[in-house]
């Protein structure tokens, strides 16, 4: 067996299904759902492809602009992980909240934030989604219910739990998706947050995007528990492992989790297995992994796989796919032109939008 087949096998066959707690109640139904490949319509497939292709092209433009020193500072791209954003978009409601870490450009785009406002933010321009004051790691949009963009590893786990608490307190049926990397799964904050979320049955969907590495440290080097979905068992939290190289699998798992959460049954945990093709950040050459490993994952590149499935299964024609690609490429050119031509923020903006109170005492000259 070659490395790609091994990888695919390990990604696809680890679906744990619902936890024992859930199995005792309604999970016969869930389990069979977990195995079945539901049929989706053409619009859904094209939506997945468009979202993934948009993210891929956005990130390629980002790397290009970074190389030309138009973008500065920390910058982490999402190339390889696009299927997660696409499957999440189709399975969630637009009024659900999402909070994530610093590898966030793709998630922000999938929440409906425009390529223009995101690219301008990377350029540090006044027209960016947070007026050029956040940069790559700190996108935010209250309108799109996107709560960032967090640079402290694992910090967003209690934040997302708090957002879910607020929804429950207000009596809504909205949920909060709280995303983090495999490195963050080892943070103490996770254990405190999971405990509270289960005790209070909060409407929160935790997603660990397991891309195998935290900077240069592989998952195997950080713990003897490498199947991260198992972390949920100590809280009796329904937990599953999911193939993150396929938007359809991601969609099905998130839809199943959302149904459970909206029924008032409390949190759900998904370990979504994925891979990042680039280094940790733009400055990382990624020497800690072999060329063969990267190549093997390239064979199951989610953008290419879904395009192939659409064409081979005659879901849409090659012409339709090409038109979609042209549309996205134009969108990216326009986003870059918009960012280039936008003004920088005024220096006085240092003192705005920092605190809710206008006269906050620490914000004086």
Ligand X SMILES: Cc1ncc(C[n+]2csc(CCOP(=O)(O)OP(=O)(O)O)c2C)c(N)n1
Query: What residues between 178 and 197 interact with Mg ion by CB under 5 A?
Result: 181-182
Smallest separation, CB 174 to ligand X (Å): 25
Query: What residues between 97 and 136 interact with ligand X by CB under 6 A?
Result: 101, 103
The helix/strand/coil state of 245 is: coil
**Contacting ligand X (CB under 6 A), which of 3, 130, 138, 151?**
151
- CB neighbourhood size of 127 (10 A): 18
Per rule CB under 5 A, is residue 252 in the interface with Mg ion? no
Smallest separation, CB 178 to ligand X (Å): 13
Question: Taking the C-alpha atoms of 345, 349, 350 and 351 in order, what is their torsion angle to the nearest 10 degrees?
Answer: 180
Per rule CB under 6 A, is residue 152 in the interface with ligand X? yes
CB of 30 closer than 8 Å to CB of 22: yes
Per rule CB under 6 A, is residue 82 in the interface with ligand X? no
* Residues in binding contact with ligand X, number by CB under 6 A: 14
DSSP-assigned beta bridge partners for residue 243: 273
Of 8 and 185, CB closest to ligand X: 185
CB of 33 closer than 8 Å to CB of 252: yes
Q: How many helices (H) and strands (E) does the chain have?
A: 14, 7
**Using CB under 6 A, which of the segments 51-59, 60-68, 150-158, 306-314 binds ligand X?**
150-158
CB of 131 closer than 8 Å to CB of 349: yes
Which residues lie below 8 Å from residue 202, measured CB to CB, with a gap of 6+?
161, 164, 165, 168, 196, 266, 267
What is residue 176's DSSP assignment?
E
* Beta strand ranges found along the chain (DSSP E): 97-99, 176-181, 204-210, 213-214, 217-218, 239-243, 268-273
Query: How many angstroms separate the CA atoms of 168 and 15, rounded?
Result: 29
**Contacting ligand X (CB under 6 A), which of 51, 127, 211, 239?**
211
The residue sitting closest to ligand X, measured at its beta carbon, is: 181
Q: Which does 215 bind (CB under 5 to 8 A by kind): Mg ion, ligand X, none?
A: ligand X
Of 181 and 302, CB closest to Mg ion: 181
**Contacting ligand X (CB under 6 A), which of 82, 96, 182, 246?**
182
Q: Which does 280 bind (CB under 5 to 8 A by kind): ligand X, Mg ion, none?
A: ligand X
Residues of this chain that bind ligand X (CB under 6 A): 101, 103, 151-153, 181-184, 211, 213-215, 280
Residues of this chain that bind Mg ion (CB under 5 A): 181-182, 211, 214
């Amino acid at each position: 067996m070659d490395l790609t087949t091994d990888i695919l096998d390990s990604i696809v066959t680890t679906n744990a299904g619902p936890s024992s707690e859930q199995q005792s109640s309604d999970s016969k139904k869930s389990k069979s759902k977990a195995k079945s490949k539901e049929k989706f319509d053409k619009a859904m497939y094209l939506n997945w492809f468009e979202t993934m292709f948009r993210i891929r092209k956005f990130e390629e433009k980002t790397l290009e602009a970074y190389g030309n020193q138009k973008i500065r500072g920390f910058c982490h791209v999402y190339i390889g992980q696009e299927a997660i954003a696409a499957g999440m978009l189709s399975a969630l409601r637009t009024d659900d909240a999402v909070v994530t870490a610093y590898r966030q450009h793709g998630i922000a785009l999938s929440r409906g934030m425009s390529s223009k406002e995101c690219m301008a933010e990377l350029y540090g321009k006044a027209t960016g989604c947070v007026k050029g004051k956040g940069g790559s790691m700190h996108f935010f949009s209250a309108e799109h219910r996107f709560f960032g963009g967090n640079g402290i590893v694992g910090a967003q786990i209690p934040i997302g739990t708090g957002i879910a608490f607020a929804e429950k307190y207000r009596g809504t049926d909205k949920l909060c998706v709280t995303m983090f990397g495999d490195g963050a799964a080892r943070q103490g904050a996770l254990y405190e947050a999971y405990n509270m979320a289960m005790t209070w049955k909060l409407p929160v969907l935790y997603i660990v995007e397991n891309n195998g590495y935290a900077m240069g440290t592989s998952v195997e080097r950080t713990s003897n528990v490498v199947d991260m979905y198992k972390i949920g068992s100590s809280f009796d939290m329904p937990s599953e492992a999911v193939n993150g190289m396929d938007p359809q699998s991601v969609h099905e798992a998130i839809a199943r989790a959302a149904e459970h959460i909206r029924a008032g049954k409390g949190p759900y945990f998904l370990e979504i297995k994925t891979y990042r093709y680039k280094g940790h950040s733009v400055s990382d050459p990624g020497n800690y992994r072999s060329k063969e490993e990267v190549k093997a994952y390239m064979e199951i590149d989610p953008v290419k796989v879904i395009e192939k499935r659409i064409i081979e299964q005659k879901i849409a024609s090659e012409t339709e796919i090409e038109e979609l690609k042209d549309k996205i490429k134009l969108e990216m050119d326009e986003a870059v032109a918009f960012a280039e031509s936008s003004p920088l923020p005024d220096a006085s903006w240092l003192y705005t939008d920092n605190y809710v109170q206008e006269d906050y005492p620490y914000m004086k000259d």
